[in-house]
């Protein structure tokens, strides 16, 4: 896990992705994606790109995250996935007792954190600090009882 948390920009998690980065021309993007949280019973799919607190997402990764977000949005629109599915950048450090989750919209922008006012409401995606029960719900693919919901008309 130490190496996972301290990889350089040119290092991939898998040998195959490292091969693509090292041995192929750089005229396409190789995105070393972090992972999916999927719970069959809820039909919630959350793609998570992890960064340490204070970290940042590279431009090319942001482009790929936006594409994934659009795919999820379309799946939500035809009721394949639950409306609380989405793409999230999660900023967290070990021992992972809290995390700041930032929703990525299909146009490649993260939704800014709202310092005042509610962060959960119908048809409003979220960016917020998660701890305790909220973190457990997010990490296990369960539905939050009070949102967020994507606009299915989208």
Together in a domain, 7 and 74: no
Same domain assignment for residues 2 and 72: no
- Check whether residue 26 and residue 54 sit in a common domain: no
pLDDT score for 75: 92
Query: What is the chain's pLDDT, residue by residue, as a tens digit (154 residues)?
Result: 445 556 666 677 788 888 988 899 888 888 777 899 999 999 999 999 999 999 988 888 888 888 898 899 899 889 999 988 999 999 999 999 999 998 887 665 555 544 444 333 333 456 788 999 989 999 999 988 866 543 333 3
Q: Are residues 25 and 65 in the same domain?
A: no
Residues 28 and 74 in one domain: no
Range of the domain at 127: 33-154
For residue 2, what are the contacts with CB-CB under 8 A and spacing of at least 6? Answer: none
Q: Are residues 99 and 132 in the same domain?
A: yes
The pLDDT of residue 91: 94
Q: Give the Cα separation of 47 and 57 in Å (integer).
A: 14
Give the pLDDT confidence score for residue 126 in this predicted structure.
64
Q: Quote the CA–CA distance of 37 and 84 in Å, as a whole number.
A: 12
Provide the number of structural domains found in the chain.
Answer: 2
Mark whether 122 and 151 lie in a shared domain: yes
pTM (2 d.p.)? 0.78
pLDDT of residue 118: 39
The per-residue pLDDT for 26 is 82
Pair 23, 44 in one domain: no
23 and 39: one domain? no
The per-residue pLDDT for 81 is: 92
**Is residue 91 domain-shared with residue 153, that is, in the same domain?**
yes
Kindly state whether residues 12 and 58 are assigned to the same domain. no
Q: Supply the pLDDT for residue 152.
A: 32
Query: Do both 15 and 59 map to the same domain?
Result: no
């Amino acid at each position: 896990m130490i190496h996972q948390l301290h990889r350089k920009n040119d290092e991939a998690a898998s040998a195959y992705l490292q091969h693509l980065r090292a041995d192929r021309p750089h005229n396409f993007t190789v995105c070393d994606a972090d992972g999916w949280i999927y719970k069959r019973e809820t039909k919630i799919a959350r793609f998570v790109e992890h960064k340490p607190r204070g970290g940042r997402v590279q431009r090319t990764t942001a482009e790929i995250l936006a594409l994934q977000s659009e795919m999820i949005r379309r799946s939500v629109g035809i009721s394949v996935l639950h409306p609380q599915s989405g793409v999230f950048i999660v900023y967290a450090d070990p021992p992972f007792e809290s995390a700041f989750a930032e929703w990525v919209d299909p146009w490649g922008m993260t939704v800014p954190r709202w310092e005042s006012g509610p962060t959960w409401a119908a048809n409003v995606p979220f960016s917020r600090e998660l701890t305790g029960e909220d973190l457990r719900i997010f990490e296990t693919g369960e539905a939050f009882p009070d949102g967020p919901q994507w606009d299915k008309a989208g």
